[in-house]
């Protein structure tokens, strides 16, 4: 086996990634080239051991510092039945943002009391389903939803959290910023008082606490500390005015992930240390009881565990301009780069240790000039038939997939200890047309 120190980019691949004697990328004990041959490409491969370790790491690092912590996996990052079953087995709660995600969770018998439901425009049908199944919390996002929920709940008691927009800039991409004043999410500061008063006056709503989520892909501690300070100060104001002490504080997720060699986020232990210290010191200063803490990692659990495998086809070298390496997938299965300029790294899976010969652009097969997976990357001399492995493909690639150009969505496998388990079949023509009517 070739060591990680010899292949720097391996640090971005799953924890079990290594290189065998054939110079092939190995994930979870499975040869990536053999996986591409068996299941076809594009193929999404998830390291099951890495997923479980990451779940355990979040739980351990936070609970050893703050025992009353609930780790709540954010399903929108990746939400197949197999993944939600794994989350259930690891003892995490679940954060869903649609009736569809809730339905997938219930289909694997995920305990409803461990499910929490944020979202800025829930339908009456989604709220009714959530109430009927006895969901843990509905995270109320705005005055319209609050009024609708009071009516729908009827004589049933519903546990809620109020989502506040704390007006904090997390210094990330604007599409991933959700806690500023100019955001579609959460009660803006001018509506906090009315929202609390309305919710507390409703006999069918049980206000358990407050929620915020400032964004995704965050590498800095300061935005979390500022948001915690703002929200806990408001919790103290609620206590003084309404004689209610919040029992739950949900601080969202957004913990950054390393997508490139140049940018590494703080380890989970550091996030836990800073967040817990801020909550405990702030509660002490404000004379508040320590609330239950909910954190909502999604990307930080699944991103590194997932790898996308593609087969190289056309290579178009334009002298003095650019060399396009075209693969059999693209924006239909991974739209992150065209959508918000996401950067990812890659390896040639069948020649991992080969010497790099120059910079190329990795392009997809879709009929769009913007169908680019990697804008610029140094790779060995790539040829048709090579297998290209993209790192950090576990988060958002799968849920954002489409059937653009009538392309079937790829298969997905979990790998562990040398065995591959198919968890989603590749779509067929019948899948693409089953809803059509002539």
Q: Which residues have a catalytic role annotated?
A: 367
Distance of CA 102 to the CA centre of its chain: 16
DSSP string, 223-285: HHHHHHHHHHHHHHHHHHHH----SEEE----B----BTTB-PPPHHHHHHHHHHHHHHHHHH
Residue 411 bridge partners (DSSP): 43
d(CA 23, CA 252): 41
d(CA 78, CA 45): 13
d(CA 155, CA 343): 50
SS3 63: helix
The CA-CA-CA angle for residues 234, 237, 239, to 5°, reads 115
For residue 185, give the nearest of 201, 170, 202, 207 by alpha carbon: 170
d(CA 434, CA 350): 37
Beta strand 115-117 pairing with 93-95 = parallel
For residue 27, give the nearest of 40, 78, 43 by alpha carbon: 43
Quote the tokens at residue 304.
Answer: 């590194």
């Amino acid at each position: 086996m070739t060591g990680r120190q010899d292949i720097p980019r391996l640090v971005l691949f799953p924890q079990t990634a290594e290189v065998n004697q054939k110079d092939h990328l190995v994930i979870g004990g499975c040869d990536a080239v053999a996986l591409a041959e068996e299941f076809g490409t594009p193929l999404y491969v998830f390291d099951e051991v890495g997923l479980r370790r990451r779940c355990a790491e979040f739980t351990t690092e936070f609970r050893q510092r703050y025992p009353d912590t609930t780790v709540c996996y954010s399903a929108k990052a990746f939400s197949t039945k197999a993944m939600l079953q794994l989350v259930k087995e690891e003892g995490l709660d679940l954060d869903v943002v649609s009736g569809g995600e809730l339905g997938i969770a219930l289909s694997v018998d995920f305990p409803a009391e461990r499910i929490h439901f944020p979202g800025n425009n829930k339908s009456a049908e989604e709220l009714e389903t959530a109430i009927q199944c006895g969901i843990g919390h509905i995270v109320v996002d705005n005055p319209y939803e609050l009024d609708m929920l009071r009516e729908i709940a009827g004589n049933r008691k519903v546990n809620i959290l109020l989502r506040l927009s704390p007006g904090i800039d997390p210094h990330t991409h604007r599409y991933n910023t959700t806690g500023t004043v100019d955001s579609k999410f959460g009660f803006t500061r001018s509506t906090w008082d009315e929202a609390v008063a309305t919710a507390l006056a409703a006999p069918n709503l049980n206000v358990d606490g407050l929620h915020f989520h400032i964004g995704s892909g965050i590498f800095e501690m300061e935005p979390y500390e500022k948001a915690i300070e703002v929200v806990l100060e408001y919790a103290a104001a609620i206590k003084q005015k309404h004689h209610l002490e919040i029992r739950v504080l949900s601080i969202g997720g957004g913990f950054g992930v390393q997508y490139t060699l140049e940018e590494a986020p703080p380890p989970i232990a550091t996030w836990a240390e800073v967040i817990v210290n801020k909550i405990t010191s702030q509660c002490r200063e404000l004379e508040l009881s320590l609330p239950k803490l909910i954190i909502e990692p999604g990307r930080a659990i699944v991103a590194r565990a997932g790898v996308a495998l593609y087969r190289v086809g056309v290579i178009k070298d334009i002298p003095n301009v650019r060399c396009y390496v075209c693969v059999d997938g693209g924006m239909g299965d991974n739209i992150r780069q065209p959508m918000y300029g996401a950067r990812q790294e890659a390896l040639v899976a069948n020649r991992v240790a080969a010497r790099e010969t120059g910079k190329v652009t990795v392009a997809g097969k879709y009929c769009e000039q913007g169908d680019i997976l990697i804008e610029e990357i140094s790779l060995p001399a790539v040829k048709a038939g090579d297998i290209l492995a993209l790192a950090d493909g576990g988060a958002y690639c799968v849920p954002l997939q489409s059937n653009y150009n009538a392309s079937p969505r790829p298969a997905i496998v979990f790998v562990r200890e040398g065995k591959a388990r198919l968890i989603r079949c590749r779509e067929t023509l019948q899948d693409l047309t089953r809803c059509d009517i002539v």
